[in-house]
Amino acid sequence: MAGKRKDSGSVRVGDGTVTVAGWVQEVRNLGGISFIVLRDGAGEIQLTLPKKKIEPGLFEALTTLHRESAIEVTGEVKESKQTALGLEIIPSSFKIHSEAGAPLPLGVVDKVNAEMDTRLNHRTLDLRKPEARAVFQIKGLVFELLSEACQSLGFVNVNTPKLVSSGAEGGATLFGVDYFGRPAYLAQSPQLYKQMLMATGLERVYEIGPAFRAEPSNTNRHVTEFISFDGEMSWIESQDDVMDAIEEIMDHVFRGVSERGAEHLGALGVELGIPSRPYPKLTYEECLSLVREAGLDLADGDDLGTEGEKIIGDHMASKGVDMYWIVEYPEEAKPFYIMAKEGTPYSYSFDLDYKGQEISSGGQREHRIDVLEGRMRDKGLDPAEFDFYLEAFRFGMPPHGGWGIGVERLVTKMLGLPNVREAILFPRDLTRLTP
């Protein structure tokens, strides 16, 4: 706190005195002397109150404050060998901005861990914990690094609609909205729109924005609203061009977090390894064989699922590999817009897995309108309902491909968090709509 920032919102320095503002973290009364630990977003500082040297009314008011009250204190700075900052403040005046209620529903510095529901129900208190805030300081850095990497590769930042007339993939994972008497949905992906942009001359685009999935999954890795990092690029020769771009971006993110986020990683006790490039490639068939050997009974075409991904992750970890590709998924398991690998049951598709969990999915898209409409019909979709999308394919659509990455899943795995909700300020899931 003091000594780190001067004349900021929480520290103001004058002649021989300093004014600090923050939350009352701890009050210790030891008879003839009392101590208060004051905390703001930058750190902690000790207020020292010798009873014989402090005006009685001021001493009484300060030492009876409830924990987490927001106050402002002016006093004299003294050197101290007993404090982490090497100084303390002897108060001469103070102001209460807001007194905290008692008892606290959630301890900010208490050693007893609170349950996830308690933390999320009282999220603003929870975020006063340095380690909780560090997650979001790193997440903010990840957003910054994603944008830096994309712009260095010639991508343009775009924004697509979040109120849509149809889903990107069909199915029942859509949240319905009454749009002035017409049915509409919250966007589950920018997929259709970023593909449409490939016909415009905006040859490389990316978007970082919210996505919504009405999936009835109540696990530590599923939520109904999340931040998706999507990219699309045209004039590709194969999906390898897309995968190369993702590797460049991920490498920039991991190196940037390791270097520029070192302080926040330290607060979390995380030693971040940078995945070695190039990331190895496994085919779906190879993965299927590995999980079957491990005793997981999967049929051809089945999704690898959480258990299968973990088996593959453990196998790759034994080889010293954290980040790797899984390619050539069965065509039947992929959405209509993924290009089939002609003459085979497979597709030009990939997942990027990190330590046993999928964090990205993508591939080469089908740009030939006749084939695209046929794939829609094969998957039970009516092309007429996607006419706004198909319009872009009628007048010259270049070969293209892209990806989607769940940012919170990436951050969760990167930091070793047990639950994706820890990487979301105010999560939304099957049961949570507030705060």
Task: Tell me the catalytic residues.
Answer: 213, 215, 221-222, 358, 361, 409
Report the relative pairing of strands 176-179 and 182-186 from DSSP bridges: antiparallel
Contact 128, 110 (CB under 8 A): no
- Look at residue 133 and give its three-state secondary structure: helix
What's the one-letter identity of residue 415?
L
Q: How far is the CA of 93 from the CAs of 44, 261, 377, in angstroms?
A: 19, 37, 75
DSSP symbols for 207-244:
EEEEEE------STT--SEEEEEEEEEES-SSHHHHHH
- Write the CB contacts of 5 (distance below 8 Å, at least 6 apart in sequence): 11, 42
The H-or-E segment that residue 305 falls in is helix 305-317
Q: Distance between alpha carbon 193 and the CA centroid of its chain, in Å?
A: 23
What's the one-letter identity of residue 199?
A
300: buried, middle or exposed (CB in 10 Å: 19+, 13-18, 0-12)? exposed
